[in-house]
C-alpha cells in the first residue's frame, strides 16, 4: 500500500514519521474544454490518488523524494524557478503561489507517490498540486480555505507548468465526494453534488497509452481560438464575457468575421454547455441511456469541431457504438491521447476488455489499459 511505503521511505530518508495527506485524480462525465470558457462540467474524484508525506526541517529548503520516479529533488525556498518537464515544477509552483499570497512556507521534507497514471488525462498533476498545497497548509497551520487552495493549485499550473488550464481538475480533486459527481458552474463556482450509484453499470476508462507531446501548446491554442470568437461577438454585444453568454444565433451573426476554425471551436463549446445541462437533467431522471447518447455527441464535437481527439480515441469510441451494453463513450480530459470514459454493463466488462484488447492491439500494435473506477472523497488527511 502506497501510504505504508511513503511512511517507511520517509522514516529511512528523514528519520521521522510524516504527516500524510492525499488528493485524488478525476474523471469527467461530460463538459470538456468548457471550464475555461466559463461553462459547465461534470467531474468526480476517483479511487486513484496522490499521497504526500511531509514534515518540517530546520533549513530553508524543500527536500523531496518521488517514489514513482525514484528521484530526489531539492530547492531553495528563497530562490527557485520552473524546471520544464520535471515533476518538481508542480511542487515549486504551489510554494510560489503560497509565498505570493503571504504564507510563510518554511523548510520541509516530502516523500510522495501514487497510482494515477501520468499522461492518461486523469489529472495526476492537479492531484499532486492539491495534495502538496493541502499538506503545506496543514503542516504550517495556514488554514487555507478550499476555494483558495483550488485557485493556488490552478495558478501553479499556469505560472510554473505553462498550461493555461481551467478550474475543473483542481476543483474535482479537492471537492470530490464519495459516490457523487459534481456539476460545477465554472464561472460562479456554484456546484451541486449529484449521487451516482450505478447498481448494474461500471465506469470503465480505457487508456490508449498515447501521450501527445504537443498537447500543452494545442491546449493553449484552443483557449486563444475561443477568445477570438468572444472578441468578435463583443463588437455586437459588449456584455458578452465568454462563450457561455453566446448561443448559436449569435455565433451565426459573427460567422463572416471569424475563421472556419474559430467558428467550429465556438460551435462545439456552445453545444457542449447545452449538453451538460441536458445531461444533468437526464441523470436526475435516472435516464442513463439518454445520458450515454450525450456522451457520444460530446465525443463527435470534440473530434470533428474542436479537433482534440486522435485515431486511437476515435477507434475506441467507434468500437463501442453498436454494443447494446455500452451506454456511452467519449474521450476525456484535454485530449490528443489519454483515456476514453465508458459506461458499461458490469457483467460485460471482462468480455469487452478482451475484444477491445485484441482489436486495438492488431490496429495500433499497443495494449490499451483498463481502469474500472469508483467515486471517492476529495483532498484530505490520510
Q: Which residues would be at the binding site for ligand GLA (CB under 6 A)?
A: 32-33, 35-36, 123, 165-166, 168-169, 333-334
Nearest distance from C-beta of residue 167 to ligand GLA, angstroms: 7
Q: Give the residue with the Cβ less far from ligand GLA, 165 or 181.
A: 165
Nearest distance from C-beta of residue 179 to ligand GLA, angstroms: 23
- The three grid cell numbers given for residue 140, joined into one nine-digit string: 504550517
Q: Give the residue with the Cβ less far from ligand GLA, 29 or 136.
A: 29
Nearest distance from C-beta of residue 10 to ligand GLA, angstroms: 29
Q: What angle do CA 356, 358, 362 make, to 5 degrees?
A: 115
| β-bridge mates for residue 195, sequence order | 180
Q: Give the residue with the Cβ less far from ligand GLA, 9 or 128.
A: 128
> How far, in Å, CA of 92 to CA of 69, rounded?
17
- Among 292, 332, 343, CA closest to 310: 332
Catalytic-role residue among 35, 68, 109, 169: 169
Nearest distance from C-beta of residue 196 to ligand GLA, angstroms: 19
- Among 352, 333, 356, CA closest to 343: 352
- The three grid cell numbers given for residue 190, joined into one nine-digit string: 456554484
Nearest distance from C-beta of residue 351 to ligand GLA, angstroms: 30
Q: Give the residue with the Cβ less far from ligand GLA, 117 or 334.
A: 334
Q: Give the residue with the Cβ less far from ligand GLA, 30 or 352.
A: 30
| 314 counts as catalytic | no
- Among 92, 105, 103, 43, CA closest to 64: 92
Instruction: Give the residue numbers annotated as catalytic, written as ranges.
Output: 169
Amino acid at each position: 500500500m502506497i501510504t505504508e511505503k511513503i511512511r517507511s521511505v520517509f522514516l529511512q530518508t528523514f528519520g521521522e514519521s510524516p504527516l500524510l495527506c492525499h488528493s485524488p485524480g478525476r474523471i469527467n462525465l461530460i463538459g470538456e474544454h468548457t471550464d475555461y470558457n466559463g461553462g459547465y462540467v461534470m467531474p468526480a474524484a476517483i479511487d486513484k490518488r496522490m499521497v504526500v508525506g511531509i514534515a518540517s526541517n530546520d533549513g530553508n529548503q524543500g527536500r523531496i523524494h518521488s517514489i514513482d520516479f525514484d528521484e530526489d529533488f531539492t530547492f531553495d525556498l528563497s530562490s527557485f524557478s520552473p524546471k520544464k518537464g520535471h515533476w518538481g515544477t508542480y511542487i515549486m509552483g504551489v510554494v510560489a503561489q503560497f509565498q505570493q499570497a503571504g504564507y510563510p512556507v518554511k523548510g520541509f521534507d516530502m516523500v510522495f507517490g501514487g497510482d494515477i497514471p501520468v499522461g492518461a488525462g486523469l489529472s495526476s498533476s492537479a492531484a499532486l498540486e492539491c495534495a502538496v498545497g493541502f499538506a503545506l497548509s496543514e503542516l504550517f497551520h495556514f488554514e487555507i480555505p478550499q476555494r483558495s487552495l483550488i485557485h493556488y493549485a490552478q495558478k501553479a499550473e499556469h505560472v510554473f507548468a505553462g498550461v493555461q488550464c481551467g478550474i475543473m481538475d483542481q476543483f474535482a480533486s479537492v471537492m470530490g465526494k464519495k459516490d457523487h459527481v459534481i456539476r460545477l458552474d465554472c464561472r460562479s463556482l456554484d456546484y451541486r453534488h449529484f449521487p451516482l450509484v450505478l447498481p448494474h453499470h461500471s465506469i470503465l476508462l480505457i487508456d490508449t497509452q498515447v501521450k501527445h507531446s504537443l498537447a500543452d501548446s494545442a491546449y493553449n491554442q484552443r483557449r486563444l481560438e475561443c477568445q477570438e470568437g468572444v472578441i468578435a461577438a463583443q463588437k455586437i454585444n459588449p456584455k458578452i464575457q465568454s462563450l457561455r453568454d453566446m448561443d448559436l444565433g449569435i455565433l451565426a451573426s459573427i460567422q463572416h468575421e471569424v475563421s472556419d476554425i474559430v467558428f467550429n471551436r465556438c460551435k462545439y463549446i456552445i453545444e457542449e454547455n447545452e449538453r451538460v445541462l441536458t445531461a444533468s437533467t437526464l441523470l436526475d431522471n435516472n435516464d442513463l441511456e439518454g445520458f450515454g447518447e450525450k456522451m457520444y455527441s460530446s465525443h463527435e464535437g470534440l473530434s470533428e469541431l474542436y479537433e482534440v481527439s486522435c485515431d486511437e480515441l476515435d477507434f475506441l469510441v467507434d468500437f463501442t457504438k453498436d454494443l447494446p451494453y455500452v451506454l456511452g463513450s467519449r474521450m476525456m480530459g484535454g485530449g490528443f491521447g489519454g483515456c476514453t470514459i465508458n459506461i458499461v454493463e458490469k457483467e460485460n466488462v471482462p468480455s469487452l476488455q478482451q475484444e477491445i484488447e485484441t482489436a486495438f492491439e492488431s490496429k495500433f500494435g499497443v495494449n490499451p489499459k483498463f481502469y474500472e473506477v469508483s467515486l471517492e472523497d476529495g483532498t484530505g488527511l490520510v
